[in-house]
Amino acid sequence: MDNLKYVKSEKIFLKNYPEFNEKWLQQQIEKDPAILGLGDLILKDKERLEPHGGRLDLLFQEADSNQRYEVEIQLGKTDESHIIRTIEYWDIERKRYPQYDHTAVIIAEEITSRFFNIISLFNGFIPLVSIQFNALKQEGQMSLFFQTILDQRMLGTEEEEEREIVDRSYWEKRGTRETLSIADDLFAIIQTIDPLIELRYNKFYIGLAKDGQANNFVIFRPQKNGLRFEVRINKSEEIEEKINNLGLDLMDYFSRDSRYRIRISKEDVKKHSVFLKELFLMARS
């Protein structure tokens, strides 16, 4: 066992130390994005010039998905102008690159009550993460500790989309009868697990329900040229290896909803029904 020794540390504010400015903090995050606690991130850009002026401090993307993070850094307390600027950059990026999922991230030394008052006005419609960092001095050295104070990434997703109920004919037009029949085949496998589960046709996806309540451990998105299903399972290298070894089209892992997104054909369902049932059982547990 390591012989640990207690060392008293002192919290300091970087704003009071000119040598540890915002640029310095940005560089530490660039070198080691893992310190933010947002997962395996790749730096896509820094000091990113936006079309209508201003520069986004950092732009990250998850290594294994299409999730992007628009990051703004502030020394001292959060203020209104900085909060609005963070949201503006997030909005610009999501409109420029709609093929990605975007999350606004604000990093500050102190997340104030004023910040929560302002964010509450948006009623959870903006996927936003606020991270407070502490600089600690001990024995002539300084370290950084990052703590997530607010995480709204899970808000405004499936539950919101559930409000718009449609019928089967809507999906026959949005997809085709053939691609909708693939959803039927997958649903037939799910019914062998629980015959009381029903299909629920929502405007943005076809989900599952039981006893009148949504139970979306799997959802379906029929398209004109195929079908994508999304299964809610914790990320696993073992599962990914199985999917790839079977030759299924694994698109990505959507961290915000903890879902694998897989494109599948009618032939795939017939050929791999045993594995698909195992996958659905894991998602349902």
H helix or E strand, kind and range, residue 104: strand 101-110
Provide the sign of the torsion angle of the four alpha carbons 178, 182, 187, 193, taken in this order: positive
Place of tokens 């500050």: 108
- Indicate the DSSP class of residue 47: E
pLDDT score for 14: 87
pLDDT score for 79: 85
Tell me the residue type at 222.
P
pLDDT score for 20: 87
- Indicate the DSSP class of residue 166: -
Tens of pLDDT along 234-263? 888 899 999 999 999 998 887 667 888 899
CA distances from 132 to 13, 115, 140 (A): 12, 12, 23
- Indicate the DSSP class of residue 225: T
Distant-in-sequence contacts of 240-249, Cβ < 8 A, 24+ apart: 242/275, 246/272, 246/275, 248/272
Q: What is the rounded CA–CA span in Å between residue 133 and residue 196? A: 48
The CATH class of the 158-284 domain is alpha beta
Report residue 25's pLDDT band, with 50, 70 and 90 as the boundaries: very high
Q: What mean pLDDT is predicted for residues 156-172?
A: 71
Residue 159 token pair? 């539950």
* Contact indicator for 213, 229 with CB cutoff of 8 Å: no
- Domain 10-151: give its CATH code: 3.40.1350.10
Tens of pLDDT along 190-245? 999 999 999 999 988 899 999 888 899 999 999 888 899 999 998 888 999 999 99
* Contact indicator for 66, 58 with CB cutoff of 8 Å: no
Q: Is the pLDDT of residue 90 over 90?
A: yes
- Residue spans per domain, the chain: 10-151, 158-284
| Number of residues written out for the chain | 285
